[in-house]
Amino acid sequence: MNITQKIKVELANLKKKGAEYADARFYPSRETESITFLQGNLKECRSSATTGIGVRVLYNGAWGFASSSLTENLPALFGSAFENAVAASNRLSFPVKLANRKPITAEYSSPRRIDPFDISVSEKLDFLRKIDKKLEHNIVAQRISYVTSDKQKIIFIDTDGSHIEKNICDTFAGMKVIGVEKNGNSQERSYELGGDGFGTRGWEALVSGDKFPENADRIVDELSQILVAESAPKDTRSVILLPGIMFLQTHEVIGHALELDRILGYELSYAGGSFVRLEDFGKLRYGSDKLTVRADGTLPNSPGSYGYDDDGVECQDTVLIDKGILKNAITSRQTIVEANEKAGEKIFEKAGGCARASNFNRIPLERMTNINIDPGNDGSLNDIITSTESGIVLDGARSWSIGSNREQFHFANEIGWLVKDGEKGEVVKNPTYSSDTLPFWRSLSAVGDKSTAELVYVPNCGKGLPSQQMYLGHLIPVCKFDNVKTGE
């Protein structure tokens, strides 16, 4: 018997022992490679290979989970998951039930033309060495560039008869320059590899075109301006957020706030809850009518697109907020049943395909796919600036801190440009802004058109205990918000 056959036998045994449901995720291989240059020195050249199995068992309405990098003794592993579920069922308040879905047999591969693991280390070093050289400048005190690749094969098998094989490959890359002001304080400017949501995302996404060389020149030039700039004003004004910070704004106080497990209280012991209540769906004005947000796992090319989630549900394109009104959430098979029963009405029609685990040794949770904002009708960045009386254009995420129910936030940025009477003016340093969540989104007064939108990759979204770091994306246009507190 091969290992998948053995897994099927063990799953069948769990059913015989009384499990309501069980699934296993087998990672025959997960390869990663990280290369980092720091100030001209190759600081990291590291590869890894991971194998392991995670087993999830539902018994009497309670979850048990066990995982191991040791794949020799499957009966012990599956038995451990079952025992954990039995023990968990001794403290139960709302028995877990899973929304129905048909068993699926499927395969998914992320789009790529060149497998980054087919590229030699030498070639990768050549690429980064050139970037490093490009970042070398007399105003740059430190320069960093990196490439990380991750290739996972995941085999999902469950007791409903699903068998899904996924081959997912992601490449992340970025660069940062740090400079020092006369007073000794440092400033920074960075660039991360992104895309447009289409095409492929193998090694070719990194090396095709001049993305890196062009942006290397840009960030060095912008750093030179920041280093001699005045501090950002401390007042109330319009903020125009470029995709380099708008993605995080969307991520933190729309994405996380709309994870249904958070709304139901499953993350209170760590990440926190949400100000959103079940009775808000269909009614709450989350933002101005310019705001339409979707969780789009079907975007052809993004770390937030993965074919099928770890509940065995196909990825979907779900409208979360429609013209400012809250419509849906980031959901899984478990949470929609619980939410509908607790609300006493069918708020959620079907699982959103958003249950994901970051590795074999973690349990699936509600995770963002691609949380995107639909482009608007307010033209280009220039058009938005022209229509602004007193504002600041902001880019780059330097710091982010969010209230435990995602009800308020504070962001610090790498760079700001003052806007006065429709003109983009001088660069300012140390810009920050903060607000309460709902007043902020309701003050959304302009959404840029398609030309302003960029897909930003997120390689490090943290959540859960034991903690998990997830890959996802945000396709985001430029947005303007009015009457926002800045400079604190």
Partner 1 sequence: MKAKIKKLLAELNNFARGKNITAEYLLHAEKSNLIRLANSAVSLNTSEELVKLIVTSRRGRRAGTYSITTDLSAIDRMKSAIVSADEIAQSADEVNYDVTLTPMTQLPDDDVNFDDALVGMNSSEKLDFINKAVGTLETDKIKLSGIFSTGAVWEAVANTLSESVLFHSVSDGQISLELTHSELKWEIAATQSAISKSDLNPEKIQSQLSTLLNIYQNTSPEIIKTGKYDIILSGEALAELIGMMEYIGFSGGLFKRKMSCLRDEHLGKKIFDDKLTIVDDPAVRETFPSVFDYNGNQRSKFTFVENGVFKQFMWDRDSADEFNEKETGHDVSGLSTVISSGNELVSSINDIPENKELTLFIPHLHYMNIVNMTEGIITACSRFGALIFDKENKIRVPFNFRLTDNFFNIFNDIEWISNETVAVNTSNSYGMRSPAAAFVPKFIKLKNISITHVNKSF
Q: What is the x/- site pattern for partner 1, positions 123-162, by CB under 8 A? A: --x---x-----------xx--------------------
Q: What tokens appear for 5 in the block?
A: 């056959």
Neighbours of 451 (CB within 10 A): 12
CB of 412 to partner 1, least distance (A): 5
Residue 206 interacting with partner 1 (CB under 8 A): no
CB of 254 or CB of 478, closer to partner 1: 254
CB of 328 or CB of 334, closer to partner 1: 334
From 173, 201, 30, 195, select the one nearest 112 (Cα to Cα). Answer: 201
CB of 170 to partner 1, least distance (A): 18
Which residues from 48-107 bind partner 1, rule CB under 8 A?
Answer: 48-52, 62-72, 80-81, 83-85, 87-94
Residue 3 interacting with partner 1 (CB under 8 A): no
Residue 2 interacting with partner 1 (CB under 8 A): no
CB of 9 or CB of 45, closer to partner 1: 45
**Selected range binding partner 1 among 347-355, 368-376, 378-386, 395-403, rule: CB under 8 A:** 395-403
Residue 12 interacting with partner 1 (CB under 8 A): no
d(CA 246, CA 255): 12
Residue 449 interacting with partner 1 (CB under 8 A): no
**Token pair 């997960």: residue:** 30
CB of 5 or CB of 48, closer to partner 1: 48
| C-alpha torsion 257→259→261→266, nearest 10 | -40
Q: Name residue 407's amino acid.
A: E
Which residues from 323-342 bind partner 1, rule CB under 8 A?
Answer: none
Which residues from 270-299 bind partner 1, rule CB under 8 A?
Answer: 270, 272-273, 275
CB of 22 to partner 1, least distance (A): 14
Residue 121 interacting with partner 1 (CB under 8 A): yes
- Sort 152 into a burial class: Cβ within 10 Å, 0-12 / 13-18 / 19+: buried
CB of 27 or CB of 195, closer to partner 1: 27
Q: What is the x/- site pattern for partner 1, positions 294-323, by CB under 8 A? A: ------------------------------
CB of 400 to partner 1, least distance (A): 6
Residue 376 interacting with partner 1 (CB under 8 A): no
Residue 23 interacting with partner 1 (CB under 8 A): no
CB of 31 or CB of 317, closer to partner 1: 31
CB of 475 or CB of 484, closer to partner 1: 484
Q: Are 31 and 49 in contact (CB under 8 A)?
A: yes
Residue 428 interacting with partner 1 (CB under 8 A): no
Residue 209 interacting with partner 1 (CB under 8 A): no
**Selected range binding partner 1 among 222-230, 236-244, 285-293, 393-401, rule: CB under 8 A:** 393-401
CB of 436 to partner 1, least distance (A): 7
Select from 354, 412, 453, 479 the one that contacts partner 1 (CB under 8 A). 412
Q: How far are the Cα atoms of 185, 191, 339, 362 from residue 466, in angstroms, in the given order?
A: 37, 30, 24, 7
Residue 231 interacting with partner 1 (CB under 8 A): no
CB of 321 to partner 1, least distance (A): 21
**Selected range binding partner 1 among 157-165, 235-243, 258-266, 450-458, rule: CB under 8 A:** 258-266
- Sort 419 into a burial class: Cβ within 10 Å, 0-12 / 13-18 / 19+: buried
**Token pair 């100030």: residue:** 39
CB of 487 to partner 1, least distance (A): 11
d(CA 93, CA 353): 25
DSSP string for 404-438: TTSSEEEEEEEEEEEEETTEEEEEEES-EEEEEHH
Residue 452 interacting with partner 1 (CB under 8 A): no
Which residues from 463-482 bind partner 1, rule CB under 8 A?
Answer: 465-469
Q: How many CA atoms lie within 13 A of 295 on its CB side?
A: 30
Q: What tokens appear for 178 in the block?
A: 């740090």
CB of 300 or CB of 403, closer to partner 1: 403
**Selected range binding partner 1 among 219-227, 372-380, 392-400, 472-480, rule: CB under 8 A:** 392-400
Kindly report each contact of residues 79-88 with a partner whose C-beta sits within 8 Å and lies 24 or more positions away, as own/partner: 80/55, 81/14, 81/22, 81/55, 81/56, 81/57, 82/14, 82/17, 82/19, 82/22, 82/57, 84/57, 85/19, 85/57, 85/58, 85/59, 85/60, 86/59, 86/60, 86/62, 88/59, 88/62, 88/63, 88/64
* 239-249 per-residue burial string, b: 16 or more CB within 10 A, e: under 16: bbbbbbbbbbb
Q: Which phi and psi (to 5°) does residue 211 adopt?
A: -50, -50
CB of 140 to partner 1, least distance (A): 11
Q: How far are the Cα atoms of 66, 217, 277, 474 from residue 167, in angstroms, in the given order?
A: 23, 35, 37, 22
Which residues from 171-190 bind partner 1, rule CB under 8 A?
Answer: 178, 180, 184-186
CB of 299 to partner 1, least distance (A): 27
Q: Which phi and psi (to 5°) does residue 62 adopt?
A: -125, 145
User: Going by C-beta distance under 8 Å and a sequence separation of 6 or more, which residues neighbour residue 184?
Assistant: none
